[in-house]
Structure 1
C-alpha cells in the first residue's frame, strides 16, 4: 500500500509513461476498435510515438508549462498526442467545441493562454475548420501552421493530426526522442466540465492529484495489469475517460475509435468487442448498460460475464441491477466530479443489491471527506437535505479565468459541489442532483429528482425527466419530458392522471407539484460526457411548448 501510495504522490505522467514503455514493451496498452477493425498500441509504441511527437512540439518552440489544446476524438492519435504533450513538459487542455461558431473553444483557449491547437483538418465541422475562420495564416506546411489570432493572442501554432487517413503516426520523425521532467505539483492537465449549465469551466489538475485519482480507482476496482482488460466509452479528454488504469497499473484499455465509429447496431458492436477482447471491467453510462441488458440475444448466447461494470454521471436506476448476475458479477456506481475525481462509490452484487435505493452512492472513497450543509454552510442533522461539500488532496487547484466561481472554494480546503443530498439512517450518502437544477415553483423549491422518483413507475414510460419552463404567475412551471417504452401509446392525460394519483396523497395540496405540461421525446439530449443535458432538454421543451 505504501509503495503504491508513493507512486501517486512522488511521480509525474512522464515517469509513468516512461516506466511502462520500458516494462514489457510488447504488452498491449490501448486497443482501438472501429468498423474497419482493430488497432493496438503496445506500451513500447506509446512511449516511442509519444516521444517523437514531443520532439515535434519542441521544434515548434513549445516550452515546459505551455498549454496545448487538443481537439481530437477518441482514437490512437489522441493517446499519442496527449502523452506527447506531457513528455514535452507541456500542459494538455481538452478542446471542446459545442457551439457551431466555435466561441466556446476560442474563449477556453484565450483564458488558458494556449500556445498550440491540435486538431484534425479533415473532421467535418471540427475545431480546425471552425477556428481557421478566426485565425490569420502566417505560414503553412504539411504538419502545422504558424497563425495569429486577435481572439487568442497567445496562440502561435495549429498542428494537424489527420486521424482518418492514418498518416499522422507514420509521419512522426524517427530516432528523435525527448522526455522533459516536471514536478508532481506542476499542472498536468486542464479539463473542461460538461457544459450542461453554460460555458464549460476550465479545471486545473496537478500530476500528483491525477495520479492519486488513478491510485484510488485501482484500489476500488482491484484491476490487475496482467489479468484485467478494461473497456470505456467515455471521451479521453474528460476526467471520466482519463487513461487511469494504464498510467497506474499498466492494464490495457479497449476504446472505440470515434474518427471512424462502429456498426449501425452499436450495442451489438460494443458487446462483440467485449467478448473478443475478453474484457473484465466495463465502463458504461446507465442508458448503455440498460440497452445492452435489454438485448438478451446478445449476452445470453455469448456466455460472457464481466467482473465489474462501472457507471456514473447519471443516477443509477433499480432496473440496472438486473444486470448483476447476468452481465456482471457486480456494479460499481460512482459519484464523481471533474473538480475532485471520484468522491463516493457503492458496489452492488447479489448479496446486497436488495438494499439499493435511488440516488444511493454510499461511502466516500479513501482520503475523501464529505459533509452535508445548509445555506449558511452549517452541518445538517439526520436525513435533512442540503448541499454536499467535500475535501480531498485531489481537489483542483482552481478554475482558469472564472473568478465568479471562487465562492465554490471554502476555507480549510472544502469545496461546494452544488449537489443536493443527505445522509441516510445507515450513514450512507445519497445524491439527488444539482442544486442549480432546483425549480422555483411559486413559494416552493422543487428538486427534480424527488418528483422523477415519484413518477418513475408510470406505465408505458421508459424515462421521465422533470425540467422547468417559464411561467408568469409562479416563475417556473413543471414540465415532464417523457420517453415512452417500446410499443407504448401513453398520452399526456395518462401521465398526468398517474402523477395526480402518485403525488396528491403524499404532500401538502397547496404545493401542487403535478406537472402542468408533458412533452414526448424519442431521445434526450446528452453532453459529450454522456450525461443528461438538462439545460438543453429544458430549452427543447420550451420550444415545443412555445413558451
Structure 2
C-alpha cells in the first residue's frame, strides 16, 4: 500500500466540513475548500502535460497557495520546488534549471521580477508561467485560478506515494549553489510522526508561525498541522504587534518561533498588553535557546520545546519540559526512530563525551540530493548520512551541539566549538545575544572573538565576561576579543551570518571593546 499525502486533506474535508485549514493574512481556506482546490490544481498540472516526477518550481512568499501547491503536487505525483526568494536572480535561474522544472508558479510580489528574468533570457526551461493574483497581462502567462478551474474532474494518477519525491528544499549553503534535498511522501510522513509523537498535536489546535514557505521548517509547521487536521495561521511577515494580536484574538494554542530572538521582539512590543493564556506549547528551533528564562517568565503555564534538526531530517533531537532548564547546554535526546553514530575524520566511532560528526540512518532521512550524484555519494558514504554537524553525547543519552564541522575555530592547534562558548556567555546577565567567531590572528592562526548584543540597560565589561567563563571553559576557548553590536546579522531564515561578522572584524569595521 502506498501513502499519498493528499489523502489527509480528503479525509479532513469530510471530518471537518467547517474548519479553517490555513489562514495567511486576509485569505483563509477551510478543509473542504482546500480539498476542492488541490484536486483541481492537480488536474490542472496533468492538463499542462506534467506527469509523475515532473517538477513545479515556485517563487512566492507566505500565502495560502503554498500548501495548496504542496498537496496538489502530492495528489498529482509531481514535485514542488520552492525557491528561496532572497537569492539573486542568477541563483534562482540555476536552481530552476537544475531541478528541470517546466512550470513556474509566481506570487504577486515576484511577477515583475520573473518577467524581467525571462526578458533577460533566464528560466529558459520554463514552458508555462502561472501567476497568482490579478489576471496576467503578459502573453503566454496562465492565471493560477484558471489552472485550478481547468483541472476539475481530471483523473489523477494512482499508486503515487511512499518513495515518490514530493518536495525539494534548498540546503541553505553559504557558498556555491545550494543542494536540493529530496523529501518523499514517506520521509515527510515519518518526520510528521516523529514530531507528533514528541509534541502531541490535536485537530482542535490553532497553530501560529512566521516561517517562509521555502524553509524546511514547514514540514514541522504548516504541513504537520494540516496532516493532523489542526488550523494553521501563517504571518506573511513577522510583525511583533500583529503576532501578539493574532495569539490574543484567535486563541492560538501552539506557537513556533525561529530564531529564539523573536520572542525578545514580542517582549519589546508590549507583551503584557495581550492575553497569551491560550498558548499550551511553544516551540523554538535553531540556535541556542538563550532566552528560555524570559519565555518562562511570560508564559509560565506553557510547555516549552527545543528542536535540533537538518533540512535532510527535520526532527532529530528534542529537548522539553524540565530538561529545558536542567540541561541548558543540551539539544536533547535523539528521536528513537533514528540510528546514529558520532565519528572522527576517518569515520571511526568516538568515545562518550567526545565531539564527533553525527551520522544518521532512518526512514525520515532524505534518500538523495536531486540531480547531484557526487554530493549524494559523499553525504551517504558507508550507508550513513553525514550531517556535517559536530555533537557529543553524555552517559545519560543527551546530545550537545558543538558546531558545524567546517566552522570549528582553530586557534594555536586547538579546536574551539563556537556553540559551546556561546552557551556559556549567554548565561551572563549583561548578554542578550552573542555570536562567537574566528578572526585572523598572526600568532595563533585564528583567535576566538565574541560579538555581543548587550541586555537592555546593561554595560558589557569584557573582564567580567572573561572571569565568568573561567571554570566553565578551557583557557583556549575563552574569547580573546569582545565586540559590541546592536543586532546580529541573520539570513532570511534566522541563521546568524558569522562570515559577515568575521569579515567586519578582520576589516576593522567592528572594533573591540576589550581583550583577554
Alignment TM-score > 0.5, same fold: yes
The alpha carbon displacement at 1:70 in A equals 1.1
Work out whether residues 305 and 324 of structure 2, in 8 Å CA contact, stay in contact via their aligned partners in 1: no
Q: Provide structure 1 residue ranges, at least 5 long, that are not aligned to the other structure.
A: 1-8, 137-147
* SS of aligned partner of 2:168: strand
CA distance 1:97–1:272, shift in 2 (3 Å): closer
What is the alpha-carbon distance in structure 2 between the residues aligned to residue 50 and residue 512 of structure 1? Answer: 53
- My pick for the range that moved more, 390-399 or 520-529, is 520-529
Aligned runs of 1:276-425 on 2, under 5 Å?
Answer: 276-285=249-258, 286-293=260-267, 297-299=270-272, 302=275, 304-317=277-290, 319-324=291-296, 326-327=298-299, 328-349=301-322, 353-358=324-329, 360-402=330-372, 403-404=374-375, 406-412=377-383, 414-425=384-395
State yes or no: 1:515 paired with 2:477: no
CA distance 1:463–1:416, shift in 2 (3 Å): same
Corresponding position of 1:109 = 96
The alpha carbon displacement at 1:198 in A equals 4.8
* SS of aligned partner of 1:467: strand
State yes or no: 1:84 paired with 2:72: yes
Q: Provide structure 2 residue ranges, at least 5 long, that are not aligned to the other structure.
A: 137-141, 512-516
CA distance 1:425–1:253, shift in 2 (3 Å): same
The alpha carbon displacement at 1:122 in A equals 4.3
TM-score by length of 1: 0.82
What is the alpha-carbon distance in structure 2 between the residues aligned to residue 357 and residue 21 of structure 1? Answer: 42
Corresponding position of 2:419 = 449
Count of aligned pairs between the two proteins:
498
The alpha carbon displacement at 1:346 in A equals 1.6
What is the alpha-carbon distance in structure 1 between the residues aligned to residue 111 and residue 437 of structure 2? Answer: 32
What is the alpha-carbon distance in structure 1 between the residues aligned to residue 350 and residue 74 of structure 2? Answer: 43
Q: Give the counterpart of 1:211 among 186, 189, 203.
A: 189
Corresponding position of 2:494 = 530
Work out whether residues 105 and 129 of structure 2, in 8 Å CA contact, stay in contact via their aligned partners in 1: yes
CA distance 1:406–1:543, shift in 2 (3 Å): farther
Cα deviation, 1:310-333, whole Å, max 9, x if unaligned, reads: 11111212x314423742521111
CA distance 1:542–1:103, shift in 2 (3 Å): farther
Cα deviation, 1:347-388, whole Å, max 9, x if unaligned, reads: 124xx5541322x12222231122322222222223122222
Corresponding position of 1:429 = 399
- My pick for the range that moved more, 237-246 or 59-68, is 237-246
State yes or no: 1:463 paired with 2:437: no
CA distance 1:499–1:206, shift in 2 (3 Å): same
* SS of aligned partner of 2:332: strand
State yes or no: 1:498 paired with 2:476: no
Corresponding position of 1:193 = 171
Work out whether residues 369 and 376 of structure 2, in 8 Å CA contact, stay in contact via their aligned partners in 1: yes
CA distance 1:322–1:63, shift in 2 (3 Å): same
CA distance 1:361–1:452, shift in 2 (3 Å): closer
What is the alpha-carbon distance in structure 2 between the residues aligned to residue 173 and residue 341 of structure 1? Answer: 31
Work out whether residues 130 and 143 of structure 2, in 8 Å CA contact, stay in contact via their aligned partners in 1: no
State yes or no: 1:440 paired with 2:403: no
* SS of aligned partner of 1:451: helix
Aligned runs of 1:57-96 on 2, under 5 Å?
Answer: 57-96=45-84
What is the alpha-carbon distance in structure 2 between the residues aligned to residue 337 and residue 164 of structure 1? Answer: 39
What is the alpha-carbon distance in structure 2 between the residues aligned to residue 443 and residue 399 of structure 1? Answer: 34
What is the alpha-carbon distance in structure 1 between the residues aligned to residue 312 and residue 273 of structure 2? Answer: 39
The alpha carbon displacement at 1:433 in A equals 2.0
Cα deviation, 1:245-283, whole Å, max 9, x if unaligned, reads: 344211111111x2xx47xxx222111101211111111
What is the alpha-carbon distance in structure 2 between the residues aligned to residue 125 and residue 320 of structure 1? Answer: 42
Work out whether residues 203 and 399 of structure 1, in 8 Å CA contact, stay in contact via their aligned partners in 2: yes
Work out whether residues 499 and 515 of structure 1, in 8 Å CA contact, stay in contact via their aligned partners in 2: no
What is the alpha-carbon distance in structure 2 between the residues aligned to residue 342 and residue 475 of structure 1? Answer: 36
The alpha carbon displacement at 1:410 in A equals 3.1
The alpha carbon displacement at 1:540 in A equals 4.2
CA distance 1:193–1:353, shift in 2 (3 Å): closer
* SS of aligned partner of 2:331: strand
The alpha carbon displacement at 1:109 in A equals 1.7
Q: Give the counterpart of 1:132 among 85, 102, 118.
A: 118
CA distance 1:163–1:393, shift in 2 (3 Å): farther
The alpha carbon displacement at 1:463 in A equals 1.2
What is the alpha-carbon distance in structure 2 between the residues aligned to residue 72 and residue 164 of structure 1? Answer: 16
- Provide the alpha-carbon RMSD of the alignment: 3.0
Cα deviation, 1:184-211, whole Å, max 9, x if unaligned, reads: 2111111112234553221001111111
CA distance 1:282–1:184, shift in 2 (3 Å): same
State yes or no: 1:235 paired with 2:236: no
CA distance 1:438–1:159, shift in 2 (3 Å): same
TM-score by length of 2: 0.87
* SS of aligned partner of 2:487: coil
CA distance 1:525–1:451, shift in 2 (3 Å): same
Work out whether residues 458 and 498 of structure 1, in 8 Å CA contact, stay in contact via their aligned partners in 2: no
What is the alpha-carbon distance in structure 1 between the residues aligned to residue 470 and residue 410 of structure 2? Answer: 19
